Amino acid sequence: MALIKGIQDTPAGTVVEILQRYGPLSIKEIEEHMGVTKTAVRQQLTALMAEGLVSTRGARGCGASTLRLPADRQSP
């Protein structure tokens, strides 16, 4: 699946690529894949979620939620 135009080669694009490759992940898992802080991951996720490019599943605020691409953005 092609990355959304305009976010290629950006930290947000890296988050999308990771979710495309590995499927639903926690913030901690994304942090580990990127080698950046939780704050850096959250900043990217906030922007991606506002655009509807990433969604959450699970409990909020307790670290149990996972991030995923909406069904129309997932690779076949």
Give, for all 76 residues of the chain, the pLDDT tens digit.
Answer: 445 566 778 899 999 899 989 988 999 999 999 999 999 999 999 989 888 888 887 655 545 456 677 765 544 4
The set of residues, in sequence order, having a beta carbon less than 8 Å from that of 39 and lying 6+ positions away, is none
pTM tops 0.85: no
Three-state SS at 54 = coil
Q: What is the dihedral of CA 34, 36, 37, 42, to 10 degrees?
A: -50
Res 38: pLDDT: 93
Q: List, in sequence order, every residue forming a beta bridge with 68; answer none if it has no partner.
A: 55
CATH number of 11-73: 1.10.10.10
Res 62: pLDDT: 47
Domain ranges of the chain: 11-73
Res 74: pLDDT: 46
Residue 25 per-residue DSSP state: B
